[in-house]
Amino acid sequence: KYRQMPRSVGGLDAAHEWGAFRAMLPDLQGQRVLDLGCGFGWHCRYARQQGAASVVGVDISEKMLARAREMTEDPAIQYIQAAIEDIDFPAESFDVAISSLAIHYVERFDLVCRAVRQCLTVGGAFVLSVEHPTFTAVATQNWSLGPSGERLHWPVDDYQQETIRHTQWLAPDVVKYHRTFATYLNTLIDEGFQISRLSEAPVTAEDIAQNPGLKDDRRRPTFLLIAAVKDTLP
């Protein structure tokens, strides 16, 4: 089913947060890029189009990697099957680390940050997107509906409870990890990153013109995007 989603068929341009994510990336020219949760490899190929020297895409799903390899003819892109939090690359082997909509599937964000910091150069950027904490709080991940099915508002509950959420997203039981906004940012800071930019990927008029179904995404925050840099301090 994931393969049938607009972003799987149409690539990055079909994902409404892509414009905001792209704007947070540093210049990739000549950079060694790591993509955590690379899926079909869209971001890996984009990085090379932008002049990245090399890209490593990591994903836990061998199926997704098989499809990524099918779609990629570029010896400078390497795909590796691993859990994001288990990566173990040599120190300072990457200049930029990115992760698009993968980390809310990972239980230990602290381990992800530690692993990224270990393999990133000092001053290197870590740019990530996750489902927004306001979006992951309630497991149903759906609008509160009125009697005629109209979208009344977005419900928030159990916000401070940072535990598993059993959601139904393309599959009957997809486990996600709800974390608060404070936890995302404090974990990055504690693991030696400096916060450089935030985005909640506001939907633009242009987005809505292209995809009218996005108009309600102005009413709630759907995605959280964070750009951080590896701190110069030890």
Positions that interact with a copy of itself (CB under 8 A):
134, 138, 144, 152-161, 180-182, 185-186, 189, 194-200, 202-203, 218-221, 224
Question: H or E element: which one contains 70?
Answer: helix 62-70
Q: From residue 16, give the alpha-carbon distance in Å to each of 31, 95, 216.
A: 26, 26, 12
Nearer to a copy of itself, 24 or 58 (CB): 24
Give min distance, CB of 44 to a copy of itself, in A.
26
Give min distance, CB of 204 to a copy of itself, in A.
10
- Mapped onto helix, strand or coil, the DSSP state of residue 142 is coil
Report the distance separating Cα 78 and Cα 27, nearest Å.
Answer: 20
Give min distance, CB of 97 to a copy of itself, in A.
19
Nearer to a copy of itself, 105 or 159 (CB): 159
Nearer to a copy of itself, 92 or 200 (CB): 200
Token couple for 27: 């210049």
Q: In the block, which residue shows the tokens 């341009």? A: 13
Nearer to a copy of itself, 28 or 224 (CB): 224
In this structure, the chain runs to a length of 234
Give min distance, CB of 110 to a copy of itself, in A.
15
Note the Cα 228 to chain centre separation in Å: 13
